[in-house]
Amino acid sequence: MKYALYTGCVAKGAGRENLVAARLACEKLGIELVEMTDAACCGAGVINEDNPLVADILNARTFALAEAQGLDIMNICTTCQGVHRKAQRKLQSKPEYWTRVNEELERDTGRRYQGEVKVKHFYEVLLHDYGLARLREKVVRPLAGLKLAAFYGCYATRPPEVNDLANPDDPDELEQLIEVLGATPVRYDERLKCCGFPIAMVNKENSMQLGGNAIASAKAAGADAMVTPCPLCHLNLDAYQPEIESQLGRKLRVPILHIPQLVAMALGVPAAALRLGTHIVRPTALMAS
């Protein structure tokens, strides 16, 4: 198995540990990754609002680059994943617009997006391409006794027509993955809510309250840690957790893990290699394991 690895911005910035873990997990599974060092930011839905055509050209360029490699794309961020899928769907539903995007792309780069490449998140690759049964066989260090709350993030579930969840209103794909890794999935009310990250700079109070509600809900359900496929959710829930605690007026101290970290640990990657110490809320029990 071989994929074009689209890292996105956070993996080169404040979430470098996510990229490290994804690489190590894939290495253990024999999944070959070719990093797309020339692929640009997906725009995170923000460039799309500033100038939709520019955002579509950017993403069409990314797809064209993967097509030139002859590989499908693996994302490690559900925001990138959702933005990519929305862009593909938009272009495929508007052939005349797609032609215009390709004309502009060709003018600037000499490339064209043909519509052949598929984009998949790391966890979707495990679920649908690699297979959970195969993954279970590779688990050498089951995360037994660990209660984990999956936090899906908006782009993993909405809009439902651009994700691969069997039941987007009540998904259990991440819970299945947690179970395969030997941990116990914890269900809680806020698992499909917004973490608040997109408005952290616009309305910090609302952003912190959204994040706080999610963490408090997971903690109340007995979770030892939360785990997310979106590094932006990770940032809001982890890096801002002290501010969230101040706003809620209570201690939370819930570690926020990236999905690839969890998979890598269960596959036997030493905790020390996973940069868990860079987390603001350190998962001390896992770090000691």
Partner 1 sequence: MAAHKLIFRIQRFDPAADREPRDQDFEVELPPGITILKALNKIRAEQDPTLALRYSCGSAICGSCAVKVNGHARLACKTQVSDCADNGVLRVGPIGNLEVLRDLVVDIDPFLESLGRVKPYLVAEDGAAPDHERHQSPEQFLKIDPSTTCILCAACYSDCNVLEVDHSFVGPASLAKAHRFIFDSRDTATFQRLGTISEQTGVWDCTHCGECSTRCPTETKPLERIEEIRTRAMADGFHDNAGARHALGFRETVGKRGLLDENYLPARSMGFGNLPGLLSLVPVGLRMLRRRKNPPLIPPSIDKADEIRKTFARFEELRK
Out of 118, 138, 141, 193, which residue is the one contacting partner 1 (CB under 8 A)?
Answer: 193
Q: Minimum distance from CB of 129 to partner 1 (Å)?
A: 26
Please tell me the distance from the alpha carbon of residue 188 to that of residue 242, in angstroms, as a whole number: 22
Q: Minimum distance from CB of 225 to partner 1 (Å)?
A: 17
Out of 25, 29, 44, 117, which residue is the one contacting partner 1 (CB under 8 A)?
Answer: 44
Q: Which is nearer to partner 1, 121 or 126 (CB)?
A: 121
Quote the radius of gyration of the chain (alpha carbons, Å): 19
Residues 52-71 that bind partner 1 (CB under 8 A): 52-54, 57-58, 61
Q: Is 47 in the site for partner 1 (CB under 8 A)?
A: yes
Q: In what order do the strands lie in the sheet with 2-6?
A: 32-35, 2-6, 73-75, 119-121
Q: Which is nearer to partner 1, 50 or 133 (CB)?
A: 50
Please tell me the distance from the alpha carbon of residue 102 to that of residue 112, in angstroms, as a whole number: 5
Q: Which is nearer to partner 1, 184 or 209 (CB)?
A: 209
User: Quick one: tokens of 204?
Assistant: 């910090």
Q: Is 272 in the site for partner 1 (CB under 8 A)?
A: no
Out of 91, 194, 225, 267, which residue is the one contacting partner 1 (CB under 8 A)?
Answer: 194
Residues 221-240 that bind partner 1 (CB under 8 A): 239-240
Give the CA count within 13 Å in the CB-facing half-sphere of 65.
20
Q: By the 8 A CB rule, do 232 and 258 touch?
A: no
Q: Which is nearer to partner 1, 111 or 136 (CB)?
A: 111
Please tell me the distance from the alpha carbon of residue 127 to that of residue 131, in angstroms, as a whole number: 5
**DSSP state string for 179-215:** HHTT-EE---TTTTS--SGGGTTT-HHHHHHHHHHHH
Q: Is 284 in the site for partner 1 (CB under 8 A)?
A: no
What is the end-to-end Cα distance of the chain in Å, rounded?
30
Residue 30's CB: how many other CB atoms inside 10 A?
A: 10
Which long-range CB contacts under 8 A does 142-145 form with residues at least 24 apart? 142/181, 142/182, 142/183, 142/266, 143/181, 143/182, 143/183, 143/262, 143/265, 143/266, 144/182, 144/183, 145/183, 145/184
Q: Is 213 in the site for partner 1 (CB under 8 A)?
A: yes
Q: Is 106 in the site for partner 1 (CB under 8 A)?
A: no
Q: By the 8 A CB rule, do 140 and 267 touch?
A: yes
**Of 82, 81, 31, 91, nearest in space to 60 by CA:** 91
User: Quick one: tokens of 210?
Assistant: 């959204």
Q: Is 14 in the site for partner 1 (CB under 8 A)?
A: yes
Q: Is 247 in the site for partner 1 (CB under 8 A)?
A: no
Q: Which is nearer to partner 1, 30 or 159 (CB)?
A: 159
Out of 108, 133, 272, 288, which residue is the one contacting partner 1 (CB under 8 A)?
Answer: 108
Out of 32, 103, 137, 170, which residue is the one contacting partner 1 (CB under 8 A)?
Answer: 170
Q: Is 48 in the site for partner 1 (CB under 8 A)?
A: yes
Q: Which is nearer to partner 1, 37 or 288 (CB)?
A: 37
Interface with partner 1 by CB under 8 A: which residues? 9-10, 12-14, 17, 37-41, 43-54, 57-58, 61, 104-105, 108-109, 154-155, 158-160, 169-170, 193-194, 196-199, 201-207, 209-210, 213, 239-240, 242-243, 277-280
